[in-house]
């Protein structure tokens, strides 16, 4: 991709880029909607992501282009505006500019900017966090700003929360920033505190992308966020992470039925993150697989952010040979299912799952075999 983005930049802007950065997409391994509830999460940076290239210009014009079939966007340094419709993709890097400036850091006045991605759109692999982090790296490099990795995560999250308008937690940006090959990223979101957990040998990840709707800005994600805040307030705590399963069992009748379901998912999911971390360290992949599937059932029944398509894939994968477990990955409401398998699960096995899905829904899911990867980085030429 390094050579490809440089070639595309030359073709688009008729000059060489000065700075190039990459940031990986991520698999949400465990911890669905726990991040903004003060909980813990596990994720894996993957070997697909977003690359960005930038060259400075002196006229205060900001030209932003992408290879994703979206329109080229022109903005100006003296007016940081938010775009809508097909041009809204530019809000992610522009939001990072706003976050950098708002924190007192320098930003490049004018520039040519190109983003390229090999992440499938709408699969819940967090292309938004990847473009935010890669953009932050080239913007900082263009002004000789030194920004620590923890700060990059906060800036990217600020951009998405306050400029784009998605009330996400730290999972996406944190995993993309702190990814490490053959490891999962563990985040205690209240600190925040970042660490890694080694993956036992023989673990494989498969993604089954349904191409069903996965639009977080349309309000479904925000609605769940509000419901969790309502549940925490009704329980008299700042974060749902402050409530143990035992405590919740004693007080769940004191809150509304919807709030109770949302809270139960989050409280139990945080416990599953801890159990999965211990299972990975012990090499007990069968136990971890059961936790993955239990996580999906909780999303399906209590958080209600699954879909018929996602449920069918999990139902079909669960009994399949060489599959440890499966669950939706990402915000939900469509998107993709992740399966953790042994190395014996093959392309033919994946095709059988895809064929069953096609018979059911008259549509074929994309199937991706993914590897873990290192986190976001500035590419040195």
Whether 242 and 156 map to the same domain: the answer is: no
Band (142; pLDDT cuts 50, 70, 90): very high
Confidence of residue 140 (pLDDT cuts 50, 70, 90): very high
Based on the domain organization, do 296 and 240 belong to the same domain?
A: yes
Do residue 213 and residue 354 come from a single domain?
yes
165 pLDDT above the threshold of 90: no
Cα–chain center distance at 51: 16
pLDDT of 268 > 70? The answer is yes
Please give the Cα distance from 54 to 142 (Å, whole number).
8
Q: Which pairs with CB-CB distance under 8 Å and at least 24 residues apart come from 81-86? A: 82/163
Residues 223, 266, single domain; the answer is yes
Same domain? For 176 and 123 the reply is yes
pLDDT tens digits, 40-62: 999 999 999 999 999 999 999 99
Sequence-distant (6+) residues with CB within 8 A of 46 are: 24, 25, 26, 27, 125, 179, 205, 370, 371, 372, 373
The average pLDDT across 69-91 equals 92
Q: What's the pLDDT at 216?
A: 54
pLDDT per residue as tens digits for the range 182-197:
999 999 999 899 999 9
Looking at residue 381, its pLDDT comes to 62
What size, in residues, is the chain?
381
Q: Are 130 and 147 in contact (CB under 8 A)?
A: no
CB 126, CB 25: distance < 8 Å = yes
pLDDT, tens digit, 9 for 90 and up, residues 275-314: 999 999 999 999 999 999 999 999 999 999 999 999 999 9
Is the per-residue pLDDT at 145 higher than 70?
yes
Average pLDDT of the chain?
93
Q: Which of the 8 DSSP states describes residue 252?
A: G
Longest Cα–Cα distance in the chain: 66
Q: Are residues 84 and 218 in the same domain?
A: no
Mean pLDDT across the stretch 22-43? Answer: 95
Packing angle, helices 127-142 and 171-178, rounded to 10: 60
Q: Which residues of 123-150 are buried (b: 16+ CB within 10 A; e: fewer)?
A: bbbbbbbbbbbbbbbbbbbbeeeebeeb
First-to-last alpha carbon distance for the chain, in angstroms, is: 13
**Structure confidence at residue 121 (pLDDT):** 67
> Does one domain contain both 187 and 254?
no
Parallel, antiparallel, or unpaired: how do β-strands 110-117 and 61-66 relate?
parallel
CB atoms within 10 A of CB 351: 12
Specify whether the CB–CB gap between 42 and 273 falls below 8 A.
Answer: yes
The tally of domains found in the chain comes to 2
In this structure, are 158 and 241 located in the same domain?
A: no
Asked which of 87-96, 329-338, 366-375 is least confident by mean pLDDT, the reply is 329-338
Distance, in Å, from the CA atom of 45 to the CA atom of 119, rounded to the nearest integer, reads 12
Active-site residues: which are they? 172
**126-137 mean pLDDT:** 92
Q: Does 218 share its domain with 267? A: yes
Contacts of 169 (CB under 8 A, 6+ apart): 33, 34, 35, 36, 37, 41, 157, 189
Q: Do residues 313 and 353 make contact, with C-beta atoms less than 8 angstroms apart? A: yes
Check whether 217 has a pLDDT greater than 50.
no
Other C-beta atoms closer than 10 Å to the C-beta of 114 total 25
For the residues of 296-339, what is the DSSP string, one character each?
A: HHHIIIII----HHHHHHHHHHTTSTTEEEEEEESS-SSSEEEE
How confident is the model over 106-135, as a mean pLDDT?
Answer: 88
**CATH number, position 144:** 3.30.230.10
Helix (H, G, I), strand (E, B) or coil at 82: coil
Find the mean pLDDT for residues 74-102.
Answer: 93
What are the pLDDT digits (tens) for 323-368?
999 999 988 888 899 999 999 999 999 999 999 999 999 999 999 9
Same domain assignment for residues 104 and 210: no
Question: What is the average per-residue pLDDT within 114-125?
Answer: 81
Domain that holds residue 95: 2-198+374-379
CB 291 within 8 A of CB 342: no
CA-based nearest residue to 185, from 368, 27, 351: 27
Q: What is the CATH number of the domain that holds 294?
A: 3.30.70.890
- For residues 180 and 288, state if they share a domain: no
Q: Please tell me whether residues 189 and 305 are part of one structural domain.
A: no
């Amino acid at each position: 991709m390094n050579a490809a983005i440089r070639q595309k930049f030359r073709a688009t802007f008729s000059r060489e880029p000065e700075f190039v950065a990459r940031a990986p997409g991520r698999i949400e391994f465990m911890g669905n909607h726990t991040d903004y509830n003060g909980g813990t999460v596990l994720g894996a940076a993957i070997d697909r992501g977003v690359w960005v290239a930038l060259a400075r210009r002196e006229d205060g014009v900001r030209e932003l282009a992408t290879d994703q079939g979206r329109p080229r966007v022109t903005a100006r340094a003296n007016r940081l505006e938010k775009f809508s419709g097909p041009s809204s993709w530019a809000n992610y890097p522009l939001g990072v500019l706003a976050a950098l400036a708002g924190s007192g850091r320098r930003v490049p006045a004018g520039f040519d900017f190109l983003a390229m991605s090999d992440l499938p759109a709408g699969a819940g692999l967090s292309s938004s966090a990847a473009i935010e982090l890669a953009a932050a790296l080239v913007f900082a490099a263009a002004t000789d700003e030194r920004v620590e990795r923890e700060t990059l995560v906060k800036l990217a999250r600020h951009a998405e929360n306050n400029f784009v308008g998605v009330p996400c937690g730290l999972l996406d940006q944190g995993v993309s920033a702190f990814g490490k090959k053959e490891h999962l990223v563990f985040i205690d979101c209240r600190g925040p505190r970042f660490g890694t957990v080694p993956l036992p040998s023989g673990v494989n990840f498969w993604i089954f992308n349904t191409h069903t709707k996965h639009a977080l800005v349309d309000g479904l994600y925000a609605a769940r966020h509000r419901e969790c805040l309502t549940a925490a307030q009704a329980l008299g705590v700042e974060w749902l992470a402050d409530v143990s399963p035992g405590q919740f069992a004693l007080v769940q009748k004191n809150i509304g039925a919807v709030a109770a379901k949302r809270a139960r998912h989050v409280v139990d999911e945080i416990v599953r993150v801890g159990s999965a971390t211990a299972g990975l360290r012990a090499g007990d992949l069968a136990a971890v697989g059961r936790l993955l599937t239990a996580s999906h059932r909780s999303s399906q029944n209590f958080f209600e952010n699954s879909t018929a398509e996602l449920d069918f894939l999990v139902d079909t994968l669960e009994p399949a040979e060489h599959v440890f477990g499966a669950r939706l990955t990402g915000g939900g409401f469509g998107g993709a299912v992740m399966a953790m398998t042994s190395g014996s699960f093959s392309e033919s096995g994946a095709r059988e799952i895809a064929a069953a899905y096609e018979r059911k829904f008259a549509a074929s899911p994309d199937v991706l075999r993914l590897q873990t990867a290192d986190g976001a980085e500035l590419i040195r030429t």
